[in-house]
Structure 1
Amino acid sequence: MDFGTVVHTDTASGAPLALLVCEHASKRVPASLGDMGLSAEALDSHIAWDPGALAVAQQMTAQMSASLVYGGVSRLVYDCNRPPEAAGAMPTKSEDFDIPANVAMSPEERQSRIDNIYTVFSRELSDQIKQSRSSLDLMVTIHSFTPVYHGKPRSVELGLLHGRDDRFAQAMMTTLPSDPPFVTRLNQPYSAADGVAHTLDAQALPNGLLNVMIEIRNDLIQTSDQQAAMASYLVPWITETLAGFQERKTL
């Protein structure tokens, strides 16, 4: 099965301080999988990707010393923020939608998706970390979430999430602007208990990188102006937080 390009990399022009990651950047379904048994509306919705997240990540990369690795296939085909053994890696149901193509998947097809999507994506992340290890201090994963989930509105607008290493998320909460323009919460609307910290724990933690996952409510990043504004808000905040760690290293 030809999955096409499953991972993309925008490499920093110099030595990057941060590696940005956007696992759910794309809603693309390989032609060999057709529509996966879903409507065009479902394949355009949040169940297939994180709307706005890639554009924000690209804007952030342009504004800071960072490289960016992002996915090239829908998370319905394979969710690159989940290990192969996780039920959500190739979900049979997402929110209120059954995913017929995943229900009917053979063991051989399942292994093919692992080998040709997850393994390729993970290898690229590892390679980028190795190439920039002398300068790299931080990994930031960028995601978006829906304003309404299972019929319930979400008041949180920005979430800072962490896995086993909470240092950077906690430090960002400490350096949060005194009058923040967005309702910001720690470990909302998800937490590591929901299985969302895989990339952080599998890639950043073993390599000694500070790390944080940023979740943005997707109604706040629908337009290019909103995406640019969000990036311009996040970058100085992240940079200030990282500078605090760098200062302590030199003492």
Structure 2
Amino acid sequence: AEALDATLVETRVSRLIIDCNRPLDAPDLVPPVSETTAIPGNAGLSEQQRAARVDLSWRPFHDTIAGIIDARLARGQETRLVSVHSFTPVYKGKSRPWHIGIIHDDDRRLAKPLVAALQRLAGVNVGVNEPYSPA
């Protein structure tokens, strides 16, 4: 973030507790299983316990992002969002060939030059909307 003169917003809670990259209605917002491993602390959570996790991490994360965007737009600043999310090279026994994945929706203004630059790097396999989709 410092090198790019960008604002960094990060969670301080493992995505095994609550995944801030998921919408509130996602069934895996509080994942019951990580790949093939059950997460006992997530089994049988009450609505109150789930809401406490939302209040602990998800809501502050999203409220902070919204506030930053609103302030930048109010100042007329051009704004782009970049999210960094890790993925494993093997998932549920299936190899993933990508070293990095660039996920984008219909607006490719940032993704297109980034993908092109990364594809020029020797030995780097770039996934475009892999291993995840923008949905």
TM bucket (normalised to shorter chain) is 0.7 to 0.9
The answer as to 2:129 corresponding to 1:187 is yes
Write out per-residue CA displacement over residues 8-40 of structure 1, whole angstroms, 9 at most, x where no aligned residue: xxxxxxxxxxxxxxxxxxxxxxxxxxxxxxxxx
> Which amino acid in the other structure matches residue 74 of structure 1?
S
Scaled by the length of structure 1, the TM-score of the pair is 0.48
Pairing of 1:2-81 with structure 2 (within 5 A): 61-81=1-21
Aligned-pair identity (%): 35
> Which amino acid in the other structure matches residue 132 of structure 2?
Y
Match of 1:99 among 20, 23, 39: 39
Shift of 1:98: 0.7
Other structure's SS at 2:56 match = helix
Shift of 1:144: 1.8
Gaps of 5+ in 1: 1-60, 194-251
- Cα distance change on mapping 1:151 and 1:110 into 2, 3 Å: same
Q: 1:155, 1:178 → 2: CA distance?
A: 14
> Which amino acid in the other structure matches residue 20 of structure 2?
C
Aligned length: 132
Residue 138 of structure 1: aligned partner: 80
Tell me if structure 1 keeps the 8 A contact 2:69–2:79: no
Pairing of 1:197-212 with structure 2 (within 5 A): none
Indicate the structure with greater strand content: 1
> Which amino acid in the other structure matches residue 98 of structure 2?
V
Tell me if structure 1 keeps the 8 A contact 2:32–2:38: yes
Q: Tell me which of the two structures has the higher relative contact order, counting C-alpha pairs closer than 8 angstroms and 6 or more residues apart.
A: 1
Q: 1:150, 1:96 → 2: CA distance?
A: 7
Match of 1:157 among 81, 85, 99: 99
Match of 1:147 among 85, 89, 95: 89
Residue 126 of structure 1: aligned partner: 66
Write out per-residue CA displacement over residues 60-98 of structure 1, whole angstroms, 9 at most, x where no aligned residue: x12112111000111111111111110110011110111
